[in-house]
Amino acid sequence: MQSSAKEISAAIVAAGGAVSFEKFMELALYSPNGFYSTDGRAGRRGDFITSPEVGPLFGSVVGNAIDAQWKALGSPTEFTLVEVGAGPGTLARSILTSDLACRDALSYIAVEKSASQLAMHPEGVTSLATMPSEPFVGVILANELLDNLPFRLFVFDGQWQEAFVVEQDATFLEILRKVEDAPAWLPHDVRHGSRIAVQSQAQSWLANSLSLVQRGAIIVFDYCTTSIDAVHKPWRDWLRTYRQHEVGEHYLRHPGSQDITCHVMVDQLDFVCQPTRVSS
């Protein structure tokens, strides 16, 4: 069983005894021994299944949506599709084998952090480890990406405090700290112990994506809720772990060997898009 525990332990020491949950999640998923840097992946032989792994139909439907955007833009001769969090390229294969009207104009860029998964990308795509830096005309596509972006975790204990992670006797434990930069919009008519995800990285991803698309669209598929809905539900309804197609253990257990995922709070994405609201 792979583990990112050493990286997390070193980060805790370097930070003076505690790291934010956001940092813990980042290291658990994306450090050199993190879940997505090693063997964690979608697919029937992986840890979970997303729509592209079920069959080619999803790719065909997405291909139709991409064609619709291309036609809405006047069928430009240069049209870019950037798939972010492309994994091993399963969705790219399905899209590229569908009956694309925009095929001759299409440049397909597949963005994937994991070197092992990036190496599995199909022919016909340009593979990158990070987002392109130059604006383009086209579509940014993200299938179940935002739910895996690290986030700050806040817990209500008479007041909102942020969750941090410490290590004691080789076990990672959660502590709460009052922080000065807690978001002002956090609700206060909530039960003791209520939790909420503050998804600043998802907001930053959306803001960057909006800056890259000169003309076109951003298409995101994910599990979604709202902050108000989530805060009134048990946290296990929207913050989960998975390993080998089963619900995993507590999110602080076995870092690097299980996925950590959180429903996307669409109202927090609205902060980026106002006055043009997110359509869901």
3-state secondary structure the chain: CCCCHHHHHHHHHHCCCCEEHHHHHHHHHHCCCCHHHCCCCECCCCCECCHHHHCCHHHHHHHHHHHHHHHHCCCCCCEEEEEECCCCCHHHHHHHCCCCCCHHHEEEEEECCCHHHHCCCCCCCEEECCCCCCCEEEEEEEECCHHHCCCEEEEECCCEEEEEEEEECCEEEEEEECCCCCCCCCCCCCCCCCEEEECHHHHHHHHHHHHHEEEEEEEEECCEECHHHHHCCCHHHCEEEEECCEECCCCCCCCCCCEEEECEEHHHHHHHHCCCCCCC
CATH 3.40.50.12710 fits 5-151+196-273, yes or no: yes
pLDDT tens sequence for the chain (280 residues): 458 999 999 999 999 999 999 999 999 999 999 998 886 554 344 444 555 555 578 889 999 999 999 999 999 999 999 999 999 999 999 999 999 999 999 999 999 988 888 999 999 999 999 999 999 999 999 999 999 999 999 999 999 999 999 999 999 999 999 999 999 999 999 999 999 999 999 999 999 999 999 999 999 999 999 999 999 999 999 999 998 768 889 999 999 999 999 999 999 998 887 645 455 5
88 class by beta-carbon count within 10 Å (0-12 exposed, 13-18 middle, 19+ buried): buried
Rounded to 5°, the CA angle 74-75-78 comes to 120
The pLDDT value given to residue 51: 56
Q: What are the boundaries of each domain within the chain?
A: 5-151+196-273
The pLDDT value given to residue 16: 98
Averaged pLDDT score across all residues of the chain: 91
The pLDDT value given to residue 157: 95
Backbone angles phi, psi at 26, to 5 degrees: -60, -45
The pLDDT value given to residue 3: 81
The pLDDT value given to residue 47: 43
Indicate whether this model's pTM tops 0.85: yes
Question: Which residues neighbour 195 within 8 Å (Cβ) at sequence distance 6 or greater?
Answer: 153, 154, 155, 156, 163, 230, 231, 235, 239
